[in-house]
Chain A
């Protein structure tokens, strides 16, 4: 191969994605990256225009007090390695970049990339422990944006953001694939749930449901479960034809333009369908991308989404609270269980109380992790780190922190209403050969324990 795979230009065509995918584990991509020229003038300009008083103040007033050190799971799992202190990580990369006014070479940019994706998941935990309120996660996210613009991003992130730009989804799921999957899932369930439907583009529905492309591609039964739960709660719901996918690898990649495209696709589905509420699936970063950060990418000065959005845990909590979902006491979770607080919708959207409300309905022996809620640690696989091959080693080390937290609870089941956390927890069990702890999304757990109201036709399968 002699084509140029590693360039600062975002991928916008199917061919571009295929070319990149042909390059196994990005070997050629990364070797070309080493040779890539840094456009120093453009870099200086970008820094000048986008790193404003907040970023500069954070970098300048940092007291180098190391209060943030122990708040970062990477520092803890790397034997208190001083180079893993949030403050050091950001000063040695973004801080240096700004001090040198962009006069850096490819080697330095690659060092920045290694830190921005391999040493920080943008979980924002350190911000909670810094006396000055310095949010290193936010700065790393900013650095990712700069690196994206100049082409220094991990191979998988390049592909991921390209997928969003080309297919409008994090995977190559086309509109056709999506609609077929919905039909197929309804057919699959006919025997057990004769009246089950997945209504598409139903205007003025109460709820518009959006989800993660991985569900369509790899575990479509999740869509069936969502449909069943909407069905048994008599929810007037629909899914959009376009704008159904709310994850955002573009956010992990720092591709802000791609982020805006994703969000606008969803917001225009809202314009078409005019739902009262949008419910998003159990995914942390999808929620953050669409609801917390999304309004800004869409240019909404109020910072609010155009209509009320609910993360799946909020919707479930409301259904349980209002009695629309009823749990069979005999089928509650009996084993000791714990709950993973996803940074993206707990620390970053305050939904920790919703998840706990759910646990109070479904678990008999619920045990909190320490710390928990807003102060919980990242699972270790956030910020896209799960999917990046070159940083697999770094991630695996980071996973240990969460495993220790889980083990300390004595739980045999981890409830994990976030795709990334789910993956990270699956992987840590494998990497550290832990065989007695299970993990699960909410939907399959709920489907097992609900009481089906008498007016809903339901055929028990054996």
Chain B
């Protein structure tokens, strides 16, 4: 059982994830239309490249933009969630071993305790974001099933992985659940809002280019002061 889900099933879900995400990037770029969107995508690389990069990087830095600074609580929770959600799956020792075995890519691995701390923080952030979603009137207005789905999909692998580490008596069963939930995440990511894993970069680059090529990029020295 464990052999199958950490073997072939893992490879299949990884393939779905990677191919799905690449497809989303491909369709996104293909579907851009300079006439309809009124953005001269092909011109002014001197402005579009810095604009796209600035728009991505500024938003990757906590407090890097006015948007983050004006909503510090939400921003802190997003970043806590995402530190763990990006670093742990990629760099946890068990994961890097799997990756090396099946894909042949060797990544450095995180010290175990650091990974634990990141996981706990991510879990806490997910819970708090969930609470925020339920109590704030603004969030309640916007809420939809798809928002909960991705919170749950992210919550499960973290929770099961941590429990497996703590509850050594039932390690095997928790591990199976952990791997399965991780694979569920990978398989569904391209088809749900989790696609923002790549589309965030696309959309940010696009708006960065829009402001840089067209909406005053020339007078602002290439990039908008996010």
Residues of A within 8 A of B (CB): 50, 52-54, 56-58, 60-61, 63-67, 69-71, 80, 82-83, 85, 87-88, 91, 124, 127-135, 138, 292-293, 295-297, 299, 301-304, 346-351, 353-354, 371, 374-375
Contact = CB atoms under 8 A, between A and B. Distances in A.
Contact of B67 (A56, A130, A295, A299): A130
Contacts of B196: 61, 63, 132
A301 B34 CA distance: 8
Nearest to B204: A133
Contact of B38 (A71, A83, A85, A296): A296
Interface stretch (B91-99, B115-123, B152-160, B207-215): B207-215
Interface in B169-210: 193, 195-196, 199-200, 202-204, 206-208, 210
Contact of B203 (A82, A133, A349): A133
Contacts, number: 155
Interface of B: 27-40, 42-44, 55, 59, 66-68, 70-71, 74, 78, 136-144, 147, 193, 195-196, 199-200, 202-204, 206-208, 210, 213-220, 224-226
A402 to B, nearest CB: 18
Contact of A132 (B136, B144, B200): B200
A61 B193 contact: yes
A295 B44 CA distance: 15
Given A130-B67, A303-B214, A349-B216, A54 B31 contact: yes
A64 B74 contact: no
Given A133-B207, A293-B38, A350-B217, 5 more contacts: A52-B31, A60-B195, A303-B39, A303-B40, A303-B44
Given A53-B32, A61-B200, A292 B42 contact: no
A127 B66 CA distance: 12
A353 B74 CA distance: 32
B219 A292 contact: no
Given A133-B208, A135-B207, A349-B219, A57 B202 contact: yes
B220 A350 contact: yes
A4 to B, nearest CB: 31
Contacts of B226: 128
Contacts of B74: 65-67
